[in-house]
């Protein structure tokens, strides 16, 4: 009988042959001959640890080594021991930058062309990472790395940040072994609304009095590093540390804010000039660079500090004192992280990238606010902020503390983006030019403190990490072929300041703003909503001579503009950028049919974890609704029956002293209804809410056993994410709807027999139903 090289019959069926060969390898292994299992994939020899620290909304000049007056010794030390990239670019918005950073593809091609709070149904705006792009975490894990993440994710749909939502675009499903942080785009730094550990939501009954989110995620990052290195010291680690700071709300401890008392009374014009002077001294900006003129475009304009009233100067300076304190918490976090790696003996062999996700944020608009979501009401058509400044002035000592959710006026964002124009969201330089530092003690000691002026884009991080680690990336993911990388490695420039830049051209797009860079030339638009798109919008700048975009050369070189515009058009089609956001609001308003499930009634019983923000919101947002409480009451029973929202806005009902009370919170402006005594026995208490035209205000009625006990008309309804704490039954967890009640009773759990609380959504508010989409679509089509 013929046999093959393994001693097996030549006519053995293939499946049997494979099994027999497998058994043979086991036998040889047991006999001490050779291992049969495949080796674990490994990165290059002596692969370093990799740490990416991404700060949220940090402006170009906000750290000391880029010109700031804010003391950031740990960040500055990182720069002194590494290199600074002064021409480093991201996208003008947080979610798209995160997608581009992690995938090495342009954000639209990765599926995240806008902030992940929309789902209009187009592939470039899917608001989740696409199946045909890999993440650096997936690649490094395949190459033997332990992959860890803490902080802000913001790369999944609102509807999927739920207990039953798809997890396909969550951190663990996109390559991370461990995750601790938030899935949303922001949170209350003292009372996070929804923490997640790995794939599971964490719902603490209450937060410790000294809790602070940045400290928490730093603790978790250090614990993860220690655990990974204790388990296998030889295995390199990738840590993605995505700060929630310095995105609004700007919260810091009182003693941290106090360090900056009086530092910003000189105003944003003086601070901006001083930062620009230091930037020139430090060599961050090249000789001959001009400071961009004051932002003067309508809606983006900043008033001269000297034209403000004394009250305005006092309040606005306080906002920046808080911001400076928050920046310092980021610096302290980096210092703690470094100390932990030094203690483990890992610092010298760790590559660290420190950068920001976009330019400084103008979302505080002209006057800022102690209530961030109140500022955002205008994005939802909910009117202006008449009277809000006086409220903020009276609350000046609370700004930045646990009872406020502040954001600064856009004048400070202009100063943060020194020396550039405009802000986050814009495709002008202030929107996407950010500080960047790379440190690697083992490799960069000979060039420590250097400055690199090559143009670098956030998509370049992925291929650079591959170069530095020796990792290799597969061409497919779960059997799906992958889009090619858009970035270009810049590893050579780390040690050689004179190598040519590798990223020669790049498109930009955000909310209709457009831009295109090629070999030092740039075209850019500032699109005005509900005006036609066209080539007439392009401005042209020679960035080699004018990096701050002060001299528009479009009229002088129309053929160059036309050529770059054609390149933008081609890149837009290649990266699934279209349709452009024309400004009607359709992009946010259009939602898939499957989300209608979130507007179904829900019956909650005591002990249910906090119902997620998005599901809770869909029960009440811009619609009438009814809340029905079913309980057996006995005299002396007391506590919260239900609470929806928190200090930024919401509504709640409680019993104390056998008296029923309803509380309505709109941006910390409280309306309280005393509803009388609760009789013993089975009770049916109904909160009946009628949404008025536009859905921004509601009429409220409370009925007990069918009888109206109290009412209030035309109450402002918290908009957007304002009620982002979600719904609690029988307790008010986390951020309280009523601080007065929290001060007296804490989370105030109900002591009696509460059977259930049921939310029954009603009709959409007049003017917000299906006809609204048709109207928005008609508006948008006029400007395509």
Q: Which DSSP state fits 510?
A: E
**Residue 537 and residue 529 in contact, taking contact as beta carbons nearer than 8 Å:** no
Q: Active site includes 432?
A: no
Alpha-carbon distance of 353 to 348, in angstroms, equals 14
Which residue in the list 65, 94, 156, 513 is annotated as catalytic? 94
Residue/partner pairs of 225-232 with CB below 8 Å, 24 or more apart = 225/148, 225/340, 225/341, 225/344, 225/346, 226/340, 226/344, 228/146, 228/148, 229/344, 229/346, 232/146
| Angle ∠(698,702,705) on CA atoms, nearest 5 | 150
**Residue 292 and residue 550 in contact, taking contact as beta carbons nearer than 8 Å:** yes
- Closest listed residue to residue 720, CA positions, set 603, 567, 617: 617
Alpha-carbon distance of 442 to 181, in angstroms, equals 31
Alpha-carbon distance of 12 to 660, in angstroms, equals 82
Q: Is 106 helix (H, G, I), strand (E, B) or coil?
A: coil
Alpha-carbon distance of 683 to 589, in angstroms, equals 39
Structure token pair of residue 689: 């809410």
Alpha-carbon distance of 36 to 34, in angstroms, equals 6
Which residue in the list 74, 89, 125, 154 is annotated as catalytic? 154
Half-sphere exposure of 574 (CA within 13 A, CB side): 15
Q: Count of H helices and E strands in the chain?
A: 20, 28
CA 197 to each of CA 74, 212, 217: distance values in angstroms, whole numbers, following the listed order: 28, 17, 11
Residue/partner pairs of 773-780 with CB below 8 Å, 24 or more apart = 773/586, 773/589, 773/590, 776/584, 776/585, 776/586, 776/589, 777/584, 777/586, 779/530, 779/582, 779/584, 779/586, 780/582, 780/584, 780/586
Residue whose tokens read 């083992």: 442
Cβ neighbours of residue 218 closer than 8 Å, sequence gap 6 or more = 150, 333, 336, 337
* β strands within 82-224, DSSP E: 83-89, 146-152, 178-182, 195-197, 200-202
- Closest listed residue to residue 94, CA positions, set 137, 61, 55: 55
Q: Is 214 helix (H, G, I), strand (E, B) or coil?
A: helix
Residue whose tokens read 């050579």: 492
Residue whose tokens read 């403000």: 308
- Closest listed residue to residue 292, CA positions, set 282, 307, 302, 305: 302
Alpha-carbon distance of 560 to 424, in angstroms, equals 27
- Total residues found in the chain within this entry: 784
**Helix axis angle, 213-231 relative to 310-343, nearest 10°?**
10
Give, for 644, the enclosing helix (H) or strand (E). Answer: strand 639-646
Alpha-carbon distance of 456 to 361, in angstroms, equals 22
Q: Active site includes 94?
A: yes
Structure token pair of residue 557: 């070189």
Instruction: Say if strands 195-197 and 178-182 run parallel, antiparallel, or are unpaired.
Output: antiparallel
DSSP output for 316-350: HHHHHHHHHHHHHHHHHHHHHHHHHHHHTT-GGGE
Instruction: Report the catalytic residues.
Output: 94, 154
């Amino acid at each position: 009988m013929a046999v093959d090289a393994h001693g097996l019959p030549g006519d053995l069926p293939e499946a049997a042959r494979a099994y027999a060969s497998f058994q043979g390898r086991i036998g040889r292994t047991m006999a001490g001959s050779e291992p049969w299992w495949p080796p674990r994939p490994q990165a290059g020899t002596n692969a370093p640890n990799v740490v990416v620290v991404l700060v949220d909304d940090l402006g170009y000049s906000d750290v000391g080594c880029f010109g700031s007056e804010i003391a950031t010794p740990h960040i500055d030390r990182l720069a002194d021991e590494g290199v600074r990239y002064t021409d480093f670019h991201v996208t003008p918005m947080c979610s798209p930058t995160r997608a581009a950073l992690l995938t090495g593809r342009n954000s639209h091609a990765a599926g995240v062309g806008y902030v992940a709070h929309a789902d209009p149904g187009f592939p470039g705006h899917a608001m989740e990472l696409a199946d045909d792009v890999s993440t650096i975490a997936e690649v490094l894990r395949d190459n033997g790395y332990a992959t860890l993440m803490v902080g802000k994710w913001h790369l999944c749909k609102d509807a999927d940040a739920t207990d039953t939502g798809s997890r396909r675009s969550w951190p663990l499903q996109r390559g991370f072994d461990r995750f601790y942080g938030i899935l949303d785009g922001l949170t209350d730094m003292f009372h996070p609304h929804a923490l997640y550990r790995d794939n599971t939501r964490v719902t603490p009954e209450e937060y410790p009095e000294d809790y602070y989110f940045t400290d928490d995620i730093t603790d978790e990052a250090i614990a993860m590093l220690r655990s990974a290195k204790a388990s296998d010291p030889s295995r390199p680690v990738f840590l993605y540390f995505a700060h929630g700071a310095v995105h609004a709300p700007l919260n810091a401890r009182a003693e941290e804010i106090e360090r900056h008392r009086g530092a910003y009374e000189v105003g944003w014009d003086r601070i901006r000039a001083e930062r620009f002077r230091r930037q020139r001294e430090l060599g961050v900006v090249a000789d001959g660079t001009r400071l961009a003129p004051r932002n003067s475009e309508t809606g983006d304009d900043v008033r001269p500090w000297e034209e403000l009233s004394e009250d305005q100067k006092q309040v606005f300076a306080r906002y920046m004192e808080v911001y400076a304190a928050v920046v310092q918490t980021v610096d302290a976090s980096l210092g703690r992280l470094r100390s932990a790696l030094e203690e483990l003996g890992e610092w010298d062999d760790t590559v660290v990238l420190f950068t920001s996700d976009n330019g400084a944020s103008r979302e505080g608009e002209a006057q800022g606010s102690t209530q961030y979501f109140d500022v955002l009401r205008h994005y939802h058509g909910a009117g202006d902020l008449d009277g809000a400044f006086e409220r903020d002035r009276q609350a000046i000592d609370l700004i930045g503390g646990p009872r406020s959710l502040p954001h600064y006026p856009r004048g400070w964002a202009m100063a943060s983006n020194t020396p550039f124009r405009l802000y986050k969201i814009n495709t002008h330089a202030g929107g996407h030019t950010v500080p960047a530092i790379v440190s690697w003690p083992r490799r960069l000691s000979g060039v420590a403190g250097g400055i690199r002026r090559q143009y670098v884009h956030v998509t370049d991080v992925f291929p650079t990490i591959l170069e530095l680690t020796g990792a290799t990336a597969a061409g497919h993911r779960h059997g799906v072929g992958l889009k090619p990388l858009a970035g270009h490695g810049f590893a050579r420039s780390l040690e050689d300041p004179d190598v040519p830049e590798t990223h020669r051209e790049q498109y930009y797009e955000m909310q209709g703003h457009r831009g295109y860079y090629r070999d030092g030339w740039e075209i850019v638009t500032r699109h005005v909503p509900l005006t036609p798109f066209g080539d007439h919008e392009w401005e042209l700048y020679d960035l080699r001579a004018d990096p701050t975009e002060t001299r528009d050369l479009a009229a002088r070189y129309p053929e160059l503009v036309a050529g770059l515009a054609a390149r933008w058009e081609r890149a837009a089609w290649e990266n699934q950028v279209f349709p452009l956001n024309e400004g009607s609001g359709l992009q946010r308003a259009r939602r898939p049919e499957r989300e209608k499930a979130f507007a179904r009634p829900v019956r909650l019983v005591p002990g249910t974890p906090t119902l997620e923000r998005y599901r809770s919101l869909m029960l009440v947002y811009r619609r009438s609704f009814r809340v029905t409480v079913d309980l057996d009451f006995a005299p002396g029973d007391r506590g919260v029956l239900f609470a929806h929202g928190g200090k930024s806005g919401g509504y709640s009902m409680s019993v104390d002293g056998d008296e029923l009370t309803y509380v309505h919170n709109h941006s910390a402006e409280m309306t309280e209804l005393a509803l009388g005594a609760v009789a013993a026995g089975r009770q049916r208490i109904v909160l009946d809410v009628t949404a008025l035209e536009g859905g921004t205000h509601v009429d409220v009625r409370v009925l007990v056993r069918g009888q109206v006990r109290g009412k209030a008309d035309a109450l402002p309804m918290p908009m957007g994410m304002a009620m982002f704490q979600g719904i609690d039954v029988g307790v008010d967890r986390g951020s309280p709807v009523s601080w007065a009640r929290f001060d007296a009773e804490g989370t105030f759990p109900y002591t009696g027999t509460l059977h259930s609380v049921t939310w029954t959504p009603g009709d959409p508010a007049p003017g917000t139903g299906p006809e609204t989409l048709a109207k928005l679509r008609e508006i948008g089509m006029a400007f395509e």
